[in-house]
Amino acid sequence: MKASTFRRLINLWPPFFFAGIRATRISDDYREADVALKLHWYNRNYVGSHFGGNLFSMTDPWFMLMLMQVLGPKYLVWDRAATIEFVAPGRGTVTARFRLSDADVADVVGKTAGGDKYLPTFHVDILDAQGQLVAKITKTVYIRLKAVHRPTAG
């Protein structure tokens, strides 16, 4: 699927749409994605800053979805674990920039070539409009060649 079509569709996905989360850019090769969350009356917490669950949600599927597209259908790719560290209250529009480097992709391909699972960890920061750190997220993704594509013991 073209990245521009995917971006439009994911922006209509109910968990993103109703939280105010928007993918603002996805590169044609799926190695970069930018996501924004504007503060509205319906997504703020009791003290007037971004609801932490929405901050976490805006980072949830990206590394998994990007890797699925980059690696292709021979691989199983699942989110395995995630953590968030809230650093400062998020107010206004906050953003997260997801990036997969050539080295990241080569590492995954190399570590899974023998059929083993691999659990790489990725990091992304959520920043406010002034570039100040709001939250740090760590994502662990499960990656493995599908059984039909694994090398046979010989």
Listed residue (17, 120, 19, 15) closest to 67, CA to CA: 120
The CA distance from 109 to 75, in Å, is: 10
DSSP 55-108: HHHTTSSHHHHHHHHHH-TTEEEEEEEEEEEE-S---S-EEEEEE--HHHHHHH
pTM above threshold 0.85: yes
For 113, the domain range is: 3-149
Tell me: the pLDDT tens digits for 40-98?
A: 998 889 999 999 999 999 999 999 999 999 999 999 999 999 999 999 999 999 999 99
DSSP string across 100-113: --HHHHHHHHHHHT
How crowded is the C-beta side of 91, counted as CA atoms within 13 Å?
A: 7
8: CATH: 3.10.129.10
How many domains, in total, are found in the chain? 1
Q: Residue 76 falls within a domain, yes or no? A: yes
